Amino acid sequence: MNIEGLEKMLAKGNDSAMLRFGLAKAYFDSQPELAVEHLRECVALDPDYSAAWNLLGKAYVQTGDKVSAESVWSTGLDVAIRKGDKQTEKEITVFLKKLQK
**Domain boundaries, given as residue ranges, for the chain:** 3-99
- Among candidate residues 101, 99, 75, the one with its CA nearest the CA of residue 88: 75
Q: What is the pTM of this model?
A: 0.93
d(CA 85, CA 83): 5
1 class by beta-carbon count within 10 Å (0-12 exposed, 13-18 middle, 19+ buried)? exposed
pLDDT tens-place string over residues 11-67:
999 999 999 999 999 999 999 999 999 999 999 999 999 999 999 999 999 999 999
DSSP single-letter state for residue 2: -
Residue 1 has pLDDT above 80, yes or no: no
pLDDT at 8: 95
Q: Phi-psi region for residue 2, left (φ > 0), alpha (ψ -120 to 50) or beta? A: beta
Average pLDDT over residues 63-81: 97
Q: What is the DSSP string of 30-90?
A: T-HHHHHHHHHHHHHH-TT-HHHHHHHHHHHHHHT-HHHHHHHHHHHHHHHHHHT-HHHHH
Average pLDDT of span 83-97: 97
> What CATH superfamily classification does 3-99 receive?
Tetratricopeptide repeat domain (1.25.40.10)
